[in-house]
Amino acid sequence: MGDTKISSLSNKHVKIRDLPITWLRKLITMIQLYDTDNDGHGGYEDFMTLADRLIKYGKLDGKAADDVIEFFQSYGSASKAGARSEIMAATGTAQQILAAWKARDNPAAVELWRSRYSRMFKIFDLNSTGFITFDEYLTFWRIFGIDPRFARMQFDYMDTDADGNISEEEFVDAAIDNFCNADLDAPNRFYGPLVKY
């Protein structure tokens, strides 16, 4: 699907069948991972479950655990106006998908996502070194229940300078690329292997 058609989708009433299949599969994968209670959408309770998992698997306590809880509370909240709240306020997968498609072309929404993923990087940097090691990255995959056999491939994809660690910039850039890039051949699998759709 060419860029012209993808851009024109943003400017009309869109139906799920109109969306690029690879982007749709990436988003469904992400929604399913965040939907820990399998009710069809990622909501506040799901985010708190993920916080509990990170605290457990990351062996966090004190301020580090409090930071994780605060992050997931704010991430799962739909209280603020804007694209993020529209996605979080949706009560089903289809509504979340359509709200996310609309948000991906909104520069203010993308900046908000950059900020969120920057904060996410900091909580997954479990030992506060300023980078994520492969072991820390496995914790990210573990809290979402992603098959770890594919983690090394995505880690190496994100590690653009090949130093064996993921910097904040590399993490955030990969997250934004995963969310915004609708290219059929995009190799980025930020949230692991894509669901079949």
Structural domain of 128: 3-180
Mean pLDDT of 35-56: 92
pLDDT top residue among 188 and 4: 188
Q: Please give the structure tokens belonging to residue 84.
A: 């993020």
Look at the block and give the residue holding tokens 């930020």: 190
Mean pLDDT of 15-26: 91
Q: Confirm whether 189 is domain-assigned.
A: no
Q: Please give the structure tokens belonging to residue 86.
A: 């529209």
For residue range 119-166, list pLDDT tens digits in order: 999 999 999 999 999 999 999 999 999 999 999 999 999 999 999 999
What interhelical angle do 151-158 and 168-180 show, nearest 10?
110
Q: Confirm whether 196 is domain-assigned.
A: no
Whichever domain contains 161, its CATH number is 1.10.238.10
Q: Confirm whether 165 is domain-assigned.
A: yes
Closest CA to 56 of 48, 47, 65: 65
DSSP-assigned beta bridge partners for residue 100: none
Residue pair 187/153 in contact by the 8 Å Cβ criterion: no
- Check whether 8 has a pLDDT greater than 60: no
d(CA 85, CA 176): 18
Mean pLDDT of 16-43: 90
How many folded domains does the chain comprise?
Answer: 1
Nearby residues of 108 by Cβ (< 8 Å), 6 or more positions away: 82, 83
Say what the pLDDT of residue 43 is: 84
Say what the pLDDT of residue 182 is: 85
Q: Please give the structure tokens belonging to residue 124.
A: 């997954």
Q: Confirm whether 67 is domain-assigned.
A: yes
